[in-house]
Amino acid sequence: MRRETLLFANDQFYLAFNNSDYELMEALWARQAPVFCIHPGWPALTDRESVMESWERILSGDESPDIGHDNVRVFDHGHYASVVCYETVGDNRLVATNAFIEEDGEIRMVMHQAGGCTEAPEPEPQVKPYMQ
């Protein structure tokens, strides 16, 4: 998987999150491969139905989420790739891992996990998003 393609997919995830765009979020997640998601403070969601229900619930809230992501690192594992980054949600810093595979010729998300981070690095200066 090309690094730029993975970064684009990761940016799409945060775009869907910030715009409360459930359709984009749903399109990003794998349909055939096993998926899981661990939101901060939630139990592990280990099937596509529960993962998508969680995103529908989160994205249908009254307030649009405002989540920044920075300090992005890509790890290519051959048959899948992961992206580790830091999220800024209000005054909180979280560390997140997002994993992607190629499914039916498209890059699809198979895992998202985010949790608190006591020693998060300072946000890097904004760079041009890969989705442009």
Per-residue pLDDT of 43-60, as tens digits, reads 999 999 999 999 999 999
Is residue 85 within a helix (H) or strand (E), and if so which, with residue range? strand 81-89
Residue 131 is assigned to a structural domain of this protein: no
Is residue 48 within a helix (H) or strand (E), and if so which, with residue range? helix 48-59
Count of domains forming the chain: 1
For position 49, what pLDDT does the model report?
98
For position 127, what pLDDT does the model report?
52
Sign of CA dihedral 78, 130, 20, 17: positive
Contact predicate 36/111, CB 8 Å: yes
Give the Å distances, CA to CA, from 11 to 77, 83, 85, 128: 20, 11, 11, 11
SS3 78: coil
Tell me the mean pLDDT in the region 70-90.
93
Mean residue pLDDT across the chain: 91
Range of the domain at 45: 3-116
Task: Report the CATH number that the domain containing residue 46 is assigned in CATH.
Answer: 3.10.450.50
Contact predicate 88/77, CB 8 Å: no
Residue 75 is assigned to a structural domain of this protein: yes
